[in-house]
């Protein structure tokens, strides 16, 4: 490890010792933060997997029911039945902090209204199943999007922190340590040389 280009003085050594202390403390804090972020990422990743499997299953069932409705009924009747939806929902997006990261917080605001905007006698029950399934899966889709985005943001931040930890651990801290050793060695040499000079002067005087 190459030492830093500094003057080997006590003042410089004291300054570098302060930097080393700060770097060591920062390394520990960053490593602890990274470990906690990894733990939370694993929890979120498991939740994301569960939500994705459940959502895909329910969405597939709803879309299959819709395909069956179109296959067993006149496509024009199906299109007219769902042309003017009578229910309205809004998606409100805010932010929340997770380990210092601004992650999305999504909430579905249901304004109510009829789930089935048509007469039951004109369409097949498969369309009812499809709309009911899509309505039920909506919240899970929002939760899945929120969890997945949070996982992605945590993964990026974990990678950044790991690079910082590695830089401190493998470059900065060893370089500061070697430089401080070098300065101590130079100072010790200067003290020994000064002692030898004093002894020679003393011998000459005596």
DSSP per-residue codes, 136-196: HHHHHHHHHHHHHHHHHHHHHHHHHHHHHHHHIIIIIHHHHHHHHHHHHHHHHHHHHHHHH
d(CA 166, CA 46): 27
For residue 200, tell me if it sits in a domain: no
For residue 83, tell me if it sits in a domain: yes
Cβ contacts of residue 177 below 8 Å, gap of 6+? 20
Per the structure, the complete domain to which residue 20 belongs is given by 10-193
> Residue 45 above 70 pLDDT?
yes
For residue 4, tell me if it sits in a domain: no
For residue 202, tell me if it sits in a domain: no
For residue 32, tell me if it sits in a domain: yes
* pLDDT tens per residue across span 20-40: 999 999 999 999 999 999 999
Q: How confident is the model at residue 1 (pLDDT cuts 50, 70, 90)?
A: low
- What the block records as the tokens of 43 is 């929890």
Range from 53-67, 82-96, 111-125 that averages highest in pLDDT = 53-67
d(CA 141, CA 154): 20
For residue 70, tell me if it sits in a domain: yes
Q: What is the mean pLDDT of residues 62-75?
A: 83
Output the domain CATH number for residue 119: 1.10.287.3240
For residue 199, tell me if it sits in a domain: no
Domain count, the chain: 1
For residue 2, tell me if it sits in a domain: no
The pTM of the full predicted model, rounded to 2 decimals, is 0.75
């Amino acid at each position: 490890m190459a030492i830093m280009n500094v003057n080997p003085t006590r003042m410089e050594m004291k300054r570098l010792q302060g930097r080393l202390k700060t770097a060591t403390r920062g390394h520990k804090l960053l490593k602890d933060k990274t470990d906690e972020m990894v733990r939370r990422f694993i929890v979120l990743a498991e939740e994301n997997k569960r939500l994705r499997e459940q959502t895909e299953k329910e969405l597939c069932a709803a879309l299959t029911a819709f395909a069956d409705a179109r296959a067993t009924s006149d496509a024009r009747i199906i299109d007219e039945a769902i042309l003017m939806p009578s229910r309205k929902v809004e998606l409100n997006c805010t932010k929340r902090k997770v380990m210092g990261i601004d992650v999305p917080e999504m909430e579905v605001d249901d304004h109510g209204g009829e789930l089935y905007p048509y007469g039951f006698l004109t369409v097949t029950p498969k369309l009812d199943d499809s709309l009911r399934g899509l309505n039920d899966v909506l919240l899970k889709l929002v939760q899945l999007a929120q969890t997945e985005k949070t996982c992605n943001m945590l993964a990026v931040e974990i990678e950044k922190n790991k690079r910082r930890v590695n830089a401190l651990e493998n470059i900065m801290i060893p370089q500061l340590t070697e430089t401080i050793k070098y300065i101590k060695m130079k100072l010790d040499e200067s003290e020994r040389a000064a002692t030898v000079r004093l002894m020679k002067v003393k011998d000459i005087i005596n």
